[in-house]
Amino acid sequence: MKFLADMGISLRTVSWLCSGGYDVVHLRDEGLQRLPDNEILIKARAEGRILLTVDLDFAPLNS
């Protein structure tokens, strides 16, 4: 499984998932801390990643 971790997801969680063999990218790792929500969603879809977030603002973007 491939995941994209939003800024609200801790690097510790990302590290734990990676140690379990998952392909996880954190926005901070790619210097994308300020990427707007709609572009984060586009990036996740384009890369075939499941978005990990605690940001409730994503719900309206997905409809």
Say yes or no to pLDDT of 5 above 90. yes
The whole-model pTM stands at 0.88
| Contacting residues for 35 by C-beta, under 8 A, at least 6 apart | 27, 43
User: Rounded distance, CA 14 to CA 38, Å?
Assistant: 22
The mean pLDDT of 9-13, rounded to a whole number, is 96
Does 60 have pLDDT greater than 70?
no
The per-residue pLDDT for range 18-58, each reduced to its tens digit, is 999 999 999 999 999 999 999 999 999 999 999 999 987 76
